[in-house]
């Protein structure tokens, strides 16, 4: 399966472009309406979204510094909103990819390298097993120490299982761990978590948070093209 992404070097507030397309004809139709737009096909939805946000550039990491994470932990202990039901729990309302605005110029700023190291493969495997076992306190502590267990370079969901490309929400949903789903969603929907990852708050913080939430909720896996919502 291929994913098609369109990048615009400028922003038009009145135009809504999806962060990626699975229908080539739909993508080409949108491409023809913008002379300066660029279209590219990718093997994964993550790569497509990165191109949509940043254009033809190499992935860049972001700056970060310590930030008190109490707001995230407190929020995770509550119901996450009045949106659709997810495995018996509540999930926050999220814009679909077609409703998200085009990335602003501020969202494309290249920031300094983050001091948070990307977890090693074996660490991600252990983290995935923690989620499967519904070890809430341990998972909460891990992501508060290193947000990159949930967010990879380019502000994309971290992949915890390479074959089917499962992220943390895929894993929790498949195991039926409602409380774990709430914890993950409450964390990633909170702009304070992105601020913690970047080490600063800027004009793009809320936008990045909204896009990340949308990706977690709507990004299909590679094997069955299923999202956590299914």
Q: Taking the domains of the chain in order of start, what are their residue ranges?
A: 1-58, 60-218
CA quadruple 105, 193, 154, 211: dihedral positive or negative? negative
Residue 134 has pLDDT above 90, yes or no: yes
Cα separations (Å) of 78 from 71, 86, 145, 147, 163? 11, 15, 21, 20, 33
Q: Coil, helix or strand for 113?
A: coil
What's residue 53's pLDDT? 79
DSSP 40: E
Mean pLDDT of all residues in 192-221 = 86
Cα–Cα distance measured from residue 218 to residue 203, given in angstroms and rounded to the nearest whole number? 24
Return the exposure string of 95-116: e unless at least 16 CB atoms fall within 10 Å of the residue's CB, then b: eebeebbbbeeebbeeeeebeb
* Residue in the structure block whose two tokens are 């252990």: 126
Looking at residue 15, what is its pLDDT?
55
CA distances from 187 to 35, 72, 203 (A): 39, 6, 20
Q: Residue 187: helix, strand or coil by DSSP?
A: helix
- What pLDDT is attached to residue 76? 43
Which one is predicted more confidently, 70 or 136? Answer: 136
CA 26 centroid distance within chain: 23
Long-range CB pairs of 37-44 (<8 Å, 24+ gap) are 37/6, 37/7, 37/8, 38/6, 38/7, 39/4, 39/5, 39/6, 40/4, 40/5, 40/7, 41/2, 41/3, 41/4, 42/2, 42/3, 42/4, 42/5, 43/2, 43/3, 44/3, 44/165, 44/222
Which has more pLDDT, 38 or 97? 38
Give the Å distances, CA to CA, from 23 to 2, 107, 161, 207, 230: 9, 26, 26, 25, 20
> Could you tell me the pLDDT band of residue 7, with boundaries at 50, 70 and 90?
confident
Indicate the pLDDT class of residue 230, thresholds 50, 70 and 90: low
- On the question of pLDDT at 31 being above 70, the answer is yes
- pLDDT bin (cut points 50, 70, 90) of residue 88 is very low
User: Is there a contact between 97 and 20 (Cβ–Cβ < 8 Å)?
Assistant: yes
Give the pLDDT band (50/70/90) at residue 94: very low
């Amino acid at each position: 399966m291929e994913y098609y992404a369109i990048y615009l070097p400028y922003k038009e507030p009145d135009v809504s472009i999806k962060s990626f397309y699975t229908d080539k004809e739909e993508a080409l139709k949108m491409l023809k309406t913008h002379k300066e737009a660029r279209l590219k096909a990718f093997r994964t939805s993550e790569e497509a979204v990165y191109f949509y946000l940043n254009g033809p550039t190499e992935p860049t990491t972001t700056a970060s510094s310590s930030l008190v994470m109490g707001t995230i932990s407190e929020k995770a202990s509550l119901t996450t909103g009045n949106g659709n039901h997810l495995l018996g729990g509540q999930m926050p309302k999220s814009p679909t990819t077609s409703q998200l605005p085009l990335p602003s110029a501020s969202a494309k700023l290249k920031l300094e390298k983050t001091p948070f190291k990307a977890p090693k493969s074996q660490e991600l495997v252990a983290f995935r097993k923690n989620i499967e076992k519904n070890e809430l306190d341990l998972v909460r502590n891990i992501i508060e120490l290193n947000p990159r267990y949930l967010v990879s370079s380019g502000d994309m969901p971290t992949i915890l299982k390479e074959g089917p490309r499962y992220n943390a929400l895929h894993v929790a949903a498949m195991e039926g761990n409602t409380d774990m789903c709430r914890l993950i969603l409450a964390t990633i929907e909170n702009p304070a978590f992105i601020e913690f990852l970047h080490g600063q708050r800027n004009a793009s913080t809320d936008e990045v948070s909204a896009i990340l939430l949308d990706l977690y909720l709507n990004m299909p896996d590679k094997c069955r093209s299923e999202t956590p919502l299914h």
